[in-house]
Amino acid sequence: MAAEGGKIDPMHQFLIEPVLGQRWVVGGYDLSFTNSALWMVITLVTLWLFMLGGMKRELVPGRWQAAVEGFTGFVQNMLTSNVGPEGKRFVPYVFSLFMFILFANILGLMPVGIVPGWHPFTITSHLTVTGVLAIISFSIVLIVGFGKHGFHFFSLFVPHGTPVLMIPLIFVVELLSFLVRPFSLGLRLFVAMTAGHILLKVLAAFVINGLNMGVGYAAIISLPSLVLMIGITLLELLVAAIQAYVFALLTSVYLNDAVNLH
Amino acid sequence: MDATAAKLLGAGLAAIGMGIAALGVGNVFAAFLEGALRNPGAADGQQGRLFIGFAGAELLGLLAFVTMIILVFVA
């Protein structure tokens, strides 16, 4: 894909196009079933199967149930250690968020391309998707914060012990750092995924172009690139897990601000 | 200097920011490991803070990357 005619085109993999070949335009809006939508469905079905296989309530958990309980316990532990006992209310949301991002990231790295006609698509490599996830998190923080504390929520922007002279300045700085949170949250996930996939595609193009140029080039270009690619793929698996964790962790930290106000 | 050359030079300069962010991320984990080896008992409780620091340091590198991509593909 990337190496057609020897030209490296690492951005083509992020193109959103209709799966069924034709666009379906309703009232000026393009509502076609795109590859992005398809991979969201695949992520959802995988997640659903994973949870359904493990939610068994057996006294002695099997391997599958232990895996699911490991994830739920992990998220619950993260929330209770960051938000406190009230964090349990947010376990369903943060768990869905964490699992969706984790599965989407890992499914995007799967070698689906070996099946002819199929291309893996990482839905989290688009700012539209991660941005909406970040906005949902931020809205929940705002709703919880204002619902629980009312206008007292604004005291979040003035830390304890601030000198009176400094309050106007600190308020503006804290407000800015609060308002920039959804952007940084969405941008981080999107860019981390995009950067990794561009790097992998460029290395893959090196391998293919080297092979096309003959045995000598294959030995000095393709082989080292392939070895590097295997290493980077393992690193990307780690990044996929870390980014899902960081997104869930930062959401729970922000929830802590909303629930406990410093 | 024509506009394309300036764009590509800017993209190259943005790559320096990514290198410096790499120093930052390394620094976060190095400091954590240093502390964790001195007091292994307290290390597990601080992993959340470790990743918050990591996320902050990493974000600035990713912003440099976004600048680069925008310069090459959008601007």
A138-195 pLDDT tens trace: 999 999 999 999 988 888 888 888 888 888 999 999 999 999 999 999 999 999 999 8
| Reported pTM | 0.88
Distance of alpha carbon A221 from alpha carbon A119, whole angstroms? 25
Confidence class for position A3, pLDDT limits 50, 70, 90 = very low
Q: Cβ–Cβ of A188/B54 closer than 8 Å?
A: no
Considering the domain delimited by B3-74, tell me its CATH architecture: Up-down Bundle (1.20)
- The answer to whether A220 and A212 have CB atoms below 8 angstroms apart is no
**Which residues in chain B have their CB less than 8 angstroms from residue A82's CB?**
48
The domain segmentation of chain B, as residue ranges, is: 3-74
The dihedrals phi and psi of B17, each to the nearest 5 degrees, come to -60, -40
Contact B53, B28 (CB under 8 A): yes
Contact: A188, B59; criterion CB under 8 Å: yes
Q: In A158-222, which ranges are continuous DSSP H helix?
A: 167-179, 181-212, 215-217
- Contact at CB, A250 and B58, closer than 8 angstroms: no
Average pLDDT, chain A: 89
Whether the ipTM is more than 0.90: the answer is no
Tens-place pLDDT, residues B10-65 = 999 998 988 899 999 999 999 999 999 999 998 888 888 899 899 989 888 888 98
pLDDT band at A6; cut points 50, 70, 90: low
Size of interface A-B (CB pairs under 8 A): 37
Helix (H) or strand (E) holding A30: strand A29-30
Residue identified by tokens 């680069």 is B68
CB contact (8 A) between residue B62 and residue A250? no
Residues of B in CB contact (< 8 Å) with A are 45, 48, 51-52, 54-55, 58-59, 62-63, 65-66, 69, 73
Q: Which whole number is the average pLDDT over A96-110?
A: 94
